[in-house]
Amino acid sequence: MESYAYAAPSSVSETVALLAQNASEGRQTQILAGGTDVLVQMRAAGHTPRTIIDIKTLAETNRLDVSADGIYIGAAVPSAVINEHALLRSALPGLLEAADLIGSTQIQGRATICGNLCNASPAGDSIPAMIAAGAICEIATAAGSREIAAEDFVVGVGRNALAPGEFLLGLKLAMPSAETKDAYLRFTPRTEMDIAVAGVGVSLTVAGGRCTQARVAIGAVAPTAMLVPEAAEALIGTDLNDTALHQAGEACKAAASPISDKRGTAEYRKKVVAVLCRRAIVVAHQRIQGA
């Protein structure tokens, strides 16, 4: 009978080799970051024995760089660490408010935003925020590494774009200018420890009173979090007046294809995503204005 195995490789190349070796032997593997999803999954019926590969000790996945040259958040850096990084908090308040919504303080001591992305839940809170912020995923491969945009990483419910033998090393983000700020808002039926009924991440650049760039991403209202270019188009060139906000909200509503479940009907989720979009735009705009 198959049993679980645990490995903690000491380098990226060793990790990739271990993934390849297990694949060639027909044995399943699963990367372990914070484990806040993995351990729950291991207790679920139908989780088959496999090799758990712990990436928490790798130097590359523990990298956290925040400077004018750019931002790098390694795949093993827990939410609690990024949430307490003052420069990161002022640069990407929206991404951090999404990370700060994941579970509790205890969960955030382990959970990573890269784990949240790899887990590919439609309701993963950090995913719309990182898409809005323009995050690029750096993926370790047998040949070295490759990069894809965060909006292309999740390809279905619980499915991501990693090929066998690959794992996510970390996220690269540009350091936003003073005229660029982000925001993330979600709605849950309960105030504590519940998953989103809808979530919206927004990143805006405003110069001379006009919105010059925008990225709007929605979560929990479709099989995957997604960028809504039509919402951004409704904002760019405007002074973010009520009409522009309304059109952006309606674009999010039109892009959404939610399910109905115990947390809310599809119709309700569509209404909520439009409201959250408008509110997140206001929050990001106020941040740019220093309000």
Structure tokens that stand for 261 in this block: 């479940």
Q: What's the closest the beta carbon of residue 138 comes to ligand FAD, in angstroms?
A: 10
Q: What's the closest the beta carbon of residue 69 comes to ligand FAD, in angstroms?
A: 23
Which residues between 37 and 96 bind ligand FAD (CB under 6 A)?
Answer: 37-38, 40, 55, 75
56/270 with CB nearer ligand FAD: 56
**Alpha carbon distance 267, 263 (integer Å):** 12
244 binds ligand FAD (CB under 6 A): no
Give the β-pairing of 29-32 and 51-54: parallel
Structure tokens that stand for 204 in this block: 């805006």
119/180 with CB nearer ligand FAD: 119
Q: What's the closest the beta carbon of residue 8 comes to ligand FAD, in angstroms?
A: 13
Give the β-pairing of 51-54 and 154-156: unpaired
**Alpha carbon distance 238, 54 (integer Å):** 47
Give the H/E segment covering residue 42: helix 38-43
30 binds ligand FAD (CB under 6 A): yes
- How many residues interact with ligand FAD (rule CB under 6 A)? 31
Exposure pattern of 191-220 as b/e (b: 16+ CB <10 Å)?
Answer: eeeebbbbbbbbbbbbeeeebebbbbbbbb
114 binds ligand FAD (CB under 6 A): yes
Using the contact rule CB under 6 A, the part of the chain among 14-22, 31-39, 86-94, 263-271 near ligand FAD is 31-39
Secondary structure (3-state) at 142: coil
Using the contact rule CB under 6 A, the part of the chain among 34-42, 84-92, 226-234, 263-271 near ligand FAD is 34-42
19/204 with CB nearer ligand FAD: 19
97/125 with CB nearer ligand FAD: 125
Residue 165: which of 146, 192, 193, 180 has the closest Cα?
146
**Alpha carbon distance 128, 200 (integer Å):** 6
Residues at the contact surface with ligand FAD, assessed by CB under 6 A: 30-38, 40, 55, 75, 101-103, 107, 110-112, 114-116, 118-119, 124-125, 162, 167-168, 193, 195
